[in-house]
């Protein structure tokens, strides 16, 4: 069952960021990060919405939010460093309302931000990366995740080619799992319902490393 979401605002340093919060009864909660702000990425991206629906369907509280400079969020693009601060602030907001983040999820640029968060959040047990753009962004300085790592990539994704993902994922975490989505491009065009189902199946697996 999907949650009713409401718009919220929270602080990242001196900036105020916009988010959309869906609250569930249980203790599980996720922060979801959107694709590249300079290429139209925001919290309403269809893949981000599909991720939120999948987590809500499994009883999670969800917070998807706009990075600095996007939508009603203050500030300007932070070249990754600022966006990692935004992600940490979103998790702090969840903790402040009594729902500490047990998972992080990110799509495209958002996956890069999630994976590069250093130090990692102590409460997070699983990180879900959807289409991490390994053929576009620099993933050479990734800290080893403490949480279990799950990766989803499209079979026809030019920005996250499966061959490159198969090289990178074991380097990020030896026990990480890679799921290659058949016939999908970077945007999962025409396949969002199947993506939601795949994410739900991933969430049904144990989160612990």
User: What is the DSSP annotation of 110-135?
Assistant: HHHHHHT-SSPPTT--EEEEES--TT
Residues 160/154, Cβ–Cβ less than 8 Å: yes
Domain 5-203 has CATH 3.40.50.1820: yes
Token pair for 115: 């994976």
Token pair for 40: 């139209």
Q: What digits encode the pLDDT tens for the residues 5-58? A: 999 999 999 999 999 999 999 999 999 999 999 999 999 999 999 999 999 999
Residue 144 pLDDT? 86
Ranges of residues in the chain whose predicted pLDDT is under 70: 1, 208-209
CA atoms of 156 and 159, how far apart (whole Å): 9
pTM: 0.97
Q: Which of 30, 60, 7 is nearest to 130 (CA)?
A: 30
Residue 206 pLDDT? 85
Residue 1 pLDDT? 63
Token pair for 188: 């999962």
Q: Pairing mode, if any, of strands 15-22 and 61-65?
A: antiparallel
């Amino acid at each position: 069952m999907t949650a009713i979401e409401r718009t919220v605002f929270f602080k990242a340093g001196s900036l105020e960021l916009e988010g959309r919060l869906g609250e569930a009864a249980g203790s599980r909660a996720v922060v979801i990060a959107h694709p590249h702000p300079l290429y139209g990425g925001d919290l309403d991206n269809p893949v981000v919405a599909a991720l939120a629906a999948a987590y809500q369907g499994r009883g999670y509280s969800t917070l998807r939010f706009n990075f600095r400079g996007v939508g009603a969020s203050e500030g300007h693009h932070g070249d990754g460093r600022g966006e990692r601060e935004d992600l940490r602030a979103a998790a702090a907001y969840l903790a402040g309302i009594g729902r500490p983040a047990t998972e992080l999820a990110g799509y495209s640029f958002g996956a890069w931000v999630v994976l590069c968060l250093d130090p990692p959040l102590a409460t997070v047990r699983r990180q879900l990366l959807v289409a991490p753009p390994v053929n576009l962004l620099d993933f050479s300085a990734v800290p080893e995740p403490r949480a279990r790592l799950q990766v989803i990539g499209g079979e026809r994704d030019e920005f996250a080619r499966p061959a490159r993902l198969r090289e990178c994922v074991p380097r990020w975490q030896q026990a990480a799992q890679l799921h290659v989505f058949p016939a999908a491009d970077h945007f999962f065009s025409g396949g969002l319902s199947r993506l939601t189902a795949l994410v739900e199946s991933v969430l049904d697996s144990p989160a612990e490393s």
